[in-house]
Amino acid sequence: MQLGFVGTGVMGAAIAQNLMAAGHQLTVYNRTKSKTDALVANGATWAATPADVAKHSDVVFTMVGFPTDVDNVYFGDDGIFSGLSAGKTVVDMTTSRPSLAVKIADYATAHGFHALDAPVSGGDIGAKNATLTVMVGGDTATYQAVLPLFETIGHQVNHFGGPGTGQHAKMANQIMIAGTMTGLTEMLLYAKAANLDLEKVLATLSSGGADNWSMDNYVPRILKDDYTPGFFARHFLKDLRIALSEADAMGLDLVATAQAKRLYEVMVDVKGLGDQGTQGLINIY
pLDDT tens, residue by residue, 99-128? 999 999 999 999 999 999 999 999 889 999
State the average pLDDT for the chain.
Answer: 97
What residue spans define the domains of the chain? Answer: 2-162, 168-284
* Cα 177 to Cα 259: distance, rounded to the nearest angstrom: 13
**101: Cβ contacts below 8 Å, ≥ 6 apart:** 92, 115, 117, 137, 163, 164, 166, 167
* CATH-assigned architecture of domain 168-284: Orthogonal Bundle (1.10)
**13 pLDDT higher than 90:** yes
- Measure the CA–CA gap between 134 and 169, rounded to whole angstroms: 10
Q: Percent of the chain having pLDDT more than 70?
A: 100
What pLDDT, on a 0 to 100 scale, did the predictor assign at position 162?
98
pLDDT of amino acid 230: 87
- Using pLDDT thresholds of 50, 70 and 90, give the confidence band for residue 148: very high
* High-pLDDT (> 90) share of the chain, %: 99
Strands 120-121 and 114-117, by their bridges, are unpaired
Catalytic residues: 170
pLDDT digits (tens, 9 = 90+) for 23-71: 999 999 999 999 999 999 999 999 999 999 999 999 999 999 999 999 9
For the stretch 262-273, pLDDT in tens is 999 999 999 999
CA distance 115 to 105: 5
Query: Per-residue pLDDT averaged across 167-179, rounded?
Result: 98
The string of pLDDT tens digits covering residues 36-48 is: 999 999 999 999 9
Residue 153 has a pLDDT of 98
How distant, in Å, are the alpha carbons of 82, 101, 102, 138, 226 from that of 106? 15, 9, 6, 10, 42
DSSP the chain: -EEEEE--SHHHHHHHHHHHHTT-EEEEE-SSGGGGHHHHHTT-EE-SSHHHHHHT-SEEEE--SSHHHHHHHHHSTT-HHHH--TT-EEEE-S---HHHHHHHHHHHHHTT-EEEE--EESHHHHHHHT-EEEEEES-HHHHHHHHHHHHHHEEEEEEEESTTHHHHHHHHHHHHHHHHHHHHHHHHHHHHHTT--HHHHHHHHTTSTT--HHHHHHHHHHHTT----SSBHHHHHHHHHHHHHHHHHTT---HHHHHHHHHHHIIIIIS--TTSBGGGGGGG-
Q: Domain 2-162: what homologous superfamily?
A: NAD(P)-binding Rossmann-like Domain (3.40.50.720)
